[in-house]
Amino acid sequence: YAVLGGKCRSCGQSISIKYPALELLGGILYAYAFWQFGWSMELALTLVLTSLLFILTMSDLAYMLIPNKILLIFLPIALIVRYLSPLENWYNPIIGGIVGFVLLFVIFLASRRGMGAGDVKLFGLLGIFLGPLHVVIALFVSAFVGSVLGLTLLGLGRVKRKQPIPFVPSIAVGTLLTYYFADDWVSWYLDLLL
Q: Where are the domains of the chain?
A: 18-193
Averaged pLDDT, 6-24: 82
pLDDT of residue 95 exceeding 90, the answer is: yes
- Classify the C-alpha dihedral 134-76-44-88 as positive or negative: positive
User: Which tens digits make up the pLDDT trace of 42-59?
Assistant: 999 999 999 999 999 989
Q: Which of 43-52, 107-116, 123-132, 147-156 has the lowest mean pLDDT?
A: 107-116
More confident site: 55 or 1: 55
Count Cα neighbours of 64 within 13 Å in the Cβ-side half-sphere: 6
Question: If you ran DSSP here, which 8-state letter would residue 4 be given?
Answer: T
